[in-house]
Structure 1
Amino acid sequence: MYEVLERKELAPVTKEFKVYAPRVARKAKAGQFVIVRAKETGERIPLTIADYDPQEGWITLVFQEVGKTTKLLGTFKEGDRLASVTGPLGNPTEIKHYGTVVCVGGGVGIAPVYPIARALKEAGNYIISIIGARNKELLIWEDKIRSVSDEVIVCTDDGSYGRKALVTQPLKELLESGRHVDIIWAIGPAIMMKFCSLTTKPFGVKTIVSLNPIMVDGTGMCGACRVEVGGETKFTCVDGPEFDGHLVDWDLLMARQRLYLEQEKQALELFEKGQ
C-alpha cells in the first residue's frame, strides 16, 4: 500500500509523486488534502491532492524539500512505500458554474490549483489562470494549467520566463481593465495569498484561498491548525482548507507558521547529520 509508482523532479527542490492509494483516489475531490507519514515514527504533514484517478487508484502529490520530512520524502524512489496516507480530508472546492473564474497559483501552489481549474472548466466556467514562480527553473505544471484554461498568464520574479512580475500585478491589471470576474482562487505561499486577497478586496471580487498551516491529526481534534476567519476561530482541517481570503487574519496565520521555526531547524540539522 502507498507505493510510489512514479517519481519526477519538477525543479531542484520540487518533487512529484504518483502514489498508489486506491481508497483515497476513489473519494478524492478537488481542493482536498491528505496527511502523509514517510516513516512509522515520522511526523504527519498535510499535502494537497494535486491529481487523482479513481479507476487506476493513484493520487499525485507535489512538494518542496524545505524541512526534515519533505527532505526525507525527497529520498524516496519508485517502488518505495509511504508509511501512511490518510484522507481525503477537508472540504472539497465548491464546484459550480460561476462564469469567469481566475485561478492564481504561486510556486508549488500551482499544482493544487490544477484540479480546481480542471473541475471548474468541466462545470462550464471560463478559466483565466495566472501562474508564477521566482524563476523559470522553479515554474511547474505550465502544460497542465494550459490544458484546463482559456487564458494563461505566466510570471517570474526575475523575468527569466514570461512576464517579469509578481502574480498580483496581472491580477490587478485584469480587474482594473473592467473585465467581469465572478470569483478568484489563489493558492501558494501565505504571503502570496495575503497580497492576492489585498489586491482583489477593493474590487469586491470574492477570493478563495487554501490554507495548510501547522497540522497534526487533520481531523479537528488537536486544534493546531486554528486560524481566525471573519473574527471567528476556525480549524483549517475540518472547516477548510478553503476560506474567503478577505476574512482571513493573515498576520496571525503567518505568526503561527513561525512558532516552531527553531525546532524545525534543529530537526533538519540532525537529519542532515544522519541522526
Structure 2
Amino acid sequence: MYVIKKKKQWSEKVFTCWIDAPWVARSASPGQFLVTINSCKGERIPMTIVDVDGDSIELLFQVVGKSTLELSKMSEGDSLYAVVGPLGNPSVLQKFDGPAVFVAGGIGVGPIYPIAKKAKEMGNKVISIMGSRSESLLVMTDQMREISDELLISTDDGSCGRKGFVTDLLREVLERNEKPSHIWAIGPAIMMKFVALTAKPFNVPLTVSLNPIMVDATGMCGVCRVYVNGENKLACVDGPEFDGYAVDYDGFMGRLTQYQEKEAVALKHYMELEG
C-alpha cells in the first residue's frame, strides 16, 4: 500500500505529496523518476522524485489531465495502486572548479531540487535560477534558497524578482568573471531550448532533463523517444538527462502535443462522471 502521508497545495493546480514507498526511497538517486498508478485501471504517470525522508518520497505535480486531477483529489491516508521505480539514470555530479548553475522553469523546480541539493553537499557553489509566469506560481523557493549560495528569480509579469525570463538572468551569470562549470536546466521544452541557445556561445556544458509522454517507462514501448545528436534515444532508459545542446527541441515539443485531443476527452469524461 502506497499511502499518501502528507499533501500540500501550492496553487490552484500544483501539489506536493509525500508517499510511503520504502523500496523506492532506499534506492532513489537525484535525477531519477518513478511511475505512479492511482487505481487498478489507472494510467501510468511518470513523476520525478523530489526528495526522500525515511521511507517516504516527495512528488511535485501539476494538474494537466484526468489522472493528475484524480491524484489531486486524493487525501492524506488514501493509497495509490502502485509506485514503480526508481527509473532512469541518476545525474552525473562531481566537485566542479566553478559554480554549478541550476535553471528551473515552473514545476521544473521539483526535479532540479535534488540535483542542486546533491551538488551543494559535494561542496559546489550552487547558483539557482527560478522562473514562472507570476509570483503565485512560484513553488519551493524556500527549499531552493536553503541549498543555494545564490538564488535568482524572474517572473514574466515582474510580480517577484526580475521582470523577464530565466534566460535573462542566466546570461548575466554567464557574463560574470567567475565562469560556471556546468548548467542544468529543467522546465518547459521551450524554456530549455532557449537556455541552450543562450548558453551555447559561452561554451559551458549543459544538461537538460526531458519528460516526454511515456507508457511503460522501461524501454519497451518506444513512446518516449527523443532525437539527440540525430539519433533515436529513449528518455526512460537512456535519460532522462541529455546533452542540452544536442536535443531536437522542435521535434520533442511536437511529440508532446500528440495526444492532446484524447487527453481532453478523457478529462471531460472524468469530470462529467464526478459531477
Question: How many Å apart are 1:81 and its aligned residue?
Answer: 0.4
Question: How many Å apart are 1:178 and its aligned residue?
Answer: 3.6
Question: How many Å apart are 1:115 and its aligned residue?
Answer: 0.6
Q: Structure 1, residues 184-239: CA drift from partner, whole Å, max 9, x if none?
A: 00011111111111111111111111101010111101100000001111000000
Correspondence for 2:238: 239
139-148 vs 94-103, which moves further:
94-103
Report matched runs for 1:1-275 at 5 Å. 1-53=1-53, 56-99=54-97, 100-274=99-273
84-93 vs 169-178, which moves further:
169-178
Aligned residue for 1:194, secondary structure, equals helix
Aligned residue for 2:10, secondary structure, equals strand
Aligned residue for 2:41, secondary structure, equals coil
Give me the whole-angstrom Cα distance separating, in 2, the residues matched to 1:195 and 1:4.
37
Q: Look up the equivalent residue of 2:126 and give its one-letter code.
A: I
Question: How many Å apart are 1:177 and its aligned residue?
Answer: 3.0
Report % sequence identity. 51
Give me the whole-angstrom Cα distance separating, in 2, the residues matched to 1:251 and 1:73.
30
Aligned residue for 2:130, secondary structure, equals strand
Q: Look up the equivalent residue of 1:170 and give its one-letter code.
A: L
Aligned residue for 2:212, secondary structure, equals coil
RMSD: 0.9
Give me the whole-angstrom Cα distance separating, in 2, the residues matched to 1:82 and 1:195.
37
Q: Structure 1, residues 151-199: CA drift from partner, whole Å, max 9, x if none?
A: 0101111111111111111101211234311000001111111111111
Q: Structure 1, residues 63-101: CA drift from partner, whole Å, max 9, x if none?
A: 001111111111010000011110000000012112310
Give me the whole-angstrom Cα distance separating, in 2, the residues matched to 1:60 and 1:262.
30
Aligned residue for 1:155, secondary structure, equals strand
Give me the whole-angstrom Cα distance separating, in 2, the residues matched to 1:46 and 1:199.
29
Aligned residue for 1:66, secondary structure, equals coil
Structure 2 residues not aligned, in runs of 5+: none
Question: How many Å apart are 1:124 and its aligned residue?
Answer: 1.0
Alignment length, in residue pairs? 273
Give me the whole-angstrom Cα distance separating, in 2, the residues matched to 1:61 and 1:89.
14
Structure 1 residues not aligned, in runs of 5+: none
Give me the whole-angstrom Cα distance separating, in 2, the residues matched to 1:29 and 1:241.
13
Q: Look up the equivalent residue of 2:273 and give its one-letter code.
A: G
Q: Look up the equivalent residue of 1:28 and give its one-letter code.
A: A
Q: Look up the equivalent residue of 1:141 and give its one-letter code.
A: M
Greater than 2 Å deviation, 4+ residue runs: 176-179
Aligned residue for 1:268, secondary structure, equals helix
TM-score, length of structure 1 as denominator length: 0.97
Question: How many Å apart are 1:12 and its aligned residue?
Answer: 1.4
